[in-house]
Structures are given as structure tokens and as C-alpha cells.
Structure 1
Amino acid sequence: MRDANVQGTIKELAKLDGAFVISEDGYVLSAARYIQANSHGINLPLGFGSRHMAAASISKETDAVAVVVSEDDGGVRIFDDGELVGEIITGVWDLGMIKPRIKGEYEKMVDKVLNLTMIVKRR
């Protein structure tokens, strides 16, 4: 992610099934990886598929934070410790138009220049 020379390659690899493994300092260690994680105890909102389950599971089993780009709506979802902790939704400024899937209290940030809404769980 940090090396501008490989950003185009990363964009192409992102189209493949599988996960990216990224180091703490932002370097891609592996791409298109299958990562098996235990989904026991993971409770996701309806409509989330196997990508979201894998992200929630791996974030629960490890110290990793997992990021999922949804194929359906292009939304970006962030998981930590098995929980959905953040969403980035493009083209939506009015939170009344969508129902956040984050459990508990959250903060909403709107950026009309970038045309997106960010929803982040309060800790």
C-alpha cells in the first residue's frame, strides 16, 4: 500500500477472491489469500456474506483489524475484535436514508466534497 510502484498491481489483485495481508507499517505481505477462521460467536447483521464473516472472524481471532469492500453496494466496513466498528458509505449524506448496522452508540461524519458518510462506533 505504501509503494506507489505497486498500487496498480494491488488494484488488479483486489478483483480476485481472497484477502490481502498487510503489515503494521502498510506493506502488502500477501494477496488473494484464503484465511480460515472460526466463525463461532460471530453475529452479523442480515445481508452480510462470507467476506464479512471472514473479516469479523479473523479480527476476533487475531490482533488484526479487517476491512471489507462490499461487492453489492461498494461500502467499506471495518471489523475489530469480531465486531463491526466502522462503515464508509458513498453518496449518502442523510443518515435517515440508511440504517447503520453498527451496534451501540456511533458517530457520523459527512464529507460532501468526497461524497461519503463515515459511521464509527464509539468506544
Structure 2
Amino acid sequence: MHDADKSAYWIVEPGSFAYNPARINVGSIGYLKANESVIVSSLYEVFQTNETCDDRFLWHWFKSPLFMKQIEMLQEGGVRLYFFFDKLLQSEIQMPGVAEQRLIGAFFDRLDSLITLHQRK
């Protein structure tokens, strides 16, 4: 990545979200936990949150039916529908304080782990 021509790509820093606006309706969103940056196509939307939002809380919201409903209401286009970042900013989300967001995010992380363990059995 160091010597590559990055002009047609976005650099995704650790702690960033990235999604394909044309594929978000099928869950095409990711969060970079790694310690090193990666690159993605410039077709992707890449963003980071600020201190008023816990990333794990937001990650679980992105996987919720409530978020899918927001996509359905706000996406735009003709044959192919898109959900660009400006539409994401128009999405409505109920957000408690950051401390409670962390607790909720951790709860859903544990729940996901338990579900995965039971599925393996």
C-alpha cells in the first residue's frame, strides 16, 4: 500500500466505518478494528464518529431493522438505489449518553458471542 497510487482510493484509518452506498441494503458496511490503515475504492463512504458516539453502539444499530428501515426511506436513485453519506446524516437514531451507549454495545457484543457459541454446538 505504501508505494501504490492511492488517488482513486480512500484510506481507511483504524476506528473508521466504511460502506458501499449501492450495497448498504445488504449489510455492506464494515468497521476497521485493526491497528493499520487499509484502502478501499473511492466509491465507498468512509467516516469516523466523534466523542459523543460509541462505535460499538453504532455498529449494532447499523445491523438493526431500524437502520434498514432508514435506508429504505432515504435511499435514492433509479435502477440502482444509493444511500450516500448525506442520507446517513439524515437518519434518525435514539442515542443515550456515551456511558450507556458503551453498556448497550458491550451487551450486544456478549449476546452476539453467545449466539455464535450456540450455533457452533
Report the TM-score when normalising by structure 2: 0.29
Structure number with the bigger relative contact order (C-alpha 8 A, sep ≥ 6) is 2
Larger-gyration structure (1/2): 2
Q: Pick the structure with more helix per residue.
A: 2
